[in-house]
Amino acid sequence: MSITEMRTSSAVSAARELRTVMQGRVVLRGDDDYARMRQIWNRAVENQPALLAICETSVDVQAAVRAARRYKLPLSVRCGGHDWAGRALCANGLVIDLTRMREVVVDMHSRVATVAGGASSKDVAAAAGAHGLVAALGNCGAVGMSGLTLGGGYGSLIGLCGLAADNLLGAEVVLADGRRVTTGPDEEPELFWAIRGGGGNFGVVTSMRVQLHEIRHMIAGPIVYPLSEAERMLHRYAAFAAAMPDELDITVGMTSGPDGRPMLMFLPLWNGDKQRGERIISDFQALGTPQLVQVGPMTYADMLAVFDAWIDAADGCHWETRTRSLPALTPVIDVITRAVADRTSPYSMVNWHHFHGAATRIPAEKIAFGLRQEHFMVEIIAGWKPDGSSAAAHRQWAQDLWEALAPFALPGGYANFLTPHSREQIKDAYGPNGARLVALKRRFDPDAVFASAIPLPDEH
């Protein structure tokens, strides 16, 4: 009997057991809705899990972890399903699917949100925004809040509020042995340290407590230039970013516009004094003559919708991602611009986040996320439709740009985007915190139950 056949047999036994104890559903490979339930953002991921435990409660999660161990099934956890590497789907294993656990409860007096493990960024944005508050979120509404937060969480409030992980106040975690624990500064503090940047390596986060922040006066929206203006405008942007106040963030994207032609898009977001914000963004707009400007009062949920509309238009794409952290942008502007002009697909893009302000003032040892110097976190994203075009060519485009940026990059890379094959970057991805993370992995997950999580450095 092959390993696949043995795991299929074990999955049937696990499903039979789980159906007697879980409040949620269990979906086996071969069931009518299996294909729909296993679908994730990156259609290039081919992993076929043996079964999915669609959890409704923390007790369901505990039962699923114990069943996976009892029947010796590989285990993975799905929150938003937006991880490009497809870590949510373990081949021939058991998927703990949290997408039914999406409740967000806001305490407006303490400015704290209690966020269920399967909530998306847009779920949190909507709940917080209803109270005039905002969380440190990313730029895609469909991304799972827990996956974003546990791996770090770059976003448009990074200068004012830090990373999403910096705003995690506590969590409920189901450990590898099925126990459910609460962690925070005073409860399991080492576990609390590890999950803020170390990803899902230590357990399944079924609930989080997240710090919220006041919305003062929020201004946001896209400013678009044709690619022919990119080099000139990016040099001006780099000079502007060097003195950017904490209240302002400018996400940058280079991809296709509505007409299919490559473009440069700045997406500023200001949260602060109204008059000062209007003046500073006006100064930024005056750096050039854009072909499109849609900047004005906007909620964080509205800003997420700008990105989500683009993602919806690319539905069904295959994706491959690389990442570099650059201490300065100016030396590579021409390299990036040429690469975007030579893309092999209109869906491919290069984006970056400016790590600045409050995020740089947090000591590197405070949480597991270890890179605290100012930098630009670059996302090199190859995207293509499965229409017969060469996947290898698209992947090579991303690889070539990644290699071209290497001489200018900091050691390591953003762990949320790395895979076990990125050995050299993984070694330095957590800065001075790598050894401590590995030791805590051995303590909390000695049998590597959560082996599908973002990679940690090698022990040797």
CA dist 260 and 83 (Å) reads 25
* pLDDT confidence band for 460 (50 / 70 / 90): very low
pLDDT single digits (tens) 376-434: 999 999 999 988 768 999 999 999 999 999 999 999 999 999 999 999 999 999 999 99
- What tokens were used for 56? 């409704």
- What tokens were used for 215? 């919305």
Whole-number average pLDDT of the chain: 95
pLDDT of res. 455: 96
Do 250 and 236 meet the contact criterion of CB atoms below 8 Å apart?
no
**Taking CA 42 as the corner, what is the angle to CA 346 and CA 134, rounded to the nearest 5 degrees?**
90
CATH tag, 218-418: 3.40.462.20
Phi-psi region of 431 (alpha: psi -120 to 50; beta: other; left: phi over 0): left
* pLDDT confidence band for 2 (50 / 70 / 90): low
Q: Which residue from 258, 266, 261, 418 is spatially nearest to 343, judged by alpha carbons? A: 261
Calculate what percentage of the chain has a pLDDT beyond 90.
92
Q: Report the DSSP pairing between strands 104-107 and 292-293.
A: unpaired
Give the CB-side neighbour count of residue 225, counting CA atoms within 13 A. Answer: 22
pLDDT, mean of residues 142-155: 97
Calculate what percentage of the chain has a pLDDT beyond 70.
98
- Return the CATH fold of 104-215+432-444: 3.30.465
* CATH of 3-97 among 3.30.565.40, 3.30.70.100, 3.30.43.10, 1.10.3720.10: 3.30.43.10
Asked if residue 445 has pLDDT above 60, the reply is yes
Q: Report the DSSP pairing between strands 223-226 and 262-271.
A: antiparallel
pLDDT single digits (tens) 50-90: 999 999 999 999 999 999 999 999 999 999 999 999 999 99
Q: Report the DSSP pairing between strands 133-134 and 180-183.
A: unpaired
pLDDT single digits (tens) 309-323: 877 778 899 999 999
Asked if residue 40 has pLDDT above 70, the reply is yes
In the chain, the amino acid numbered 450 is: F
Asked if residue 258 has pLDDT above 90, the reply is no
Show me where the domains of the chain are located: 3-97, 104-215+432-444, 218-418
pLDDT, mean of residues 324-332: 98
pLDDT of res. 7: 72
CA 427 vs CA 83, 440, 446, 455: distances in Å: 20, 16, 20, 10
CA 307 vs CA 222, 265, 383: distances in Å: 10, 11, 15
pLDDT single digits (tens) 178-225: 999 999 999 999 999 999 999 999 999 999 999 999 999 999 999 999
Spatial neighbors of 9 by CB under 8 A, at least 6 apart, are 1
Asked if residue 13 has pLDDT above 70, the reply is yes
pLDDT single digits (tens) 235-257: 999 999 999 999 999 999 999 98
Q: pTM of this prediction? A: 0.95
User: 3-97 and 104-215+432-444 share one CATH topology?
Assistant: no
Query: Bigger pLDDT: 1 or 288?
Result: 288
- What tokens were used for 74? 């590989």
pLDDT, mean of residues 439-448: 97
Phi, psi of 426 (to 5 degrees): -60, -40
Do 8 and 29 meet the contact criterion of CB atoms below 8 Å apart?
yes
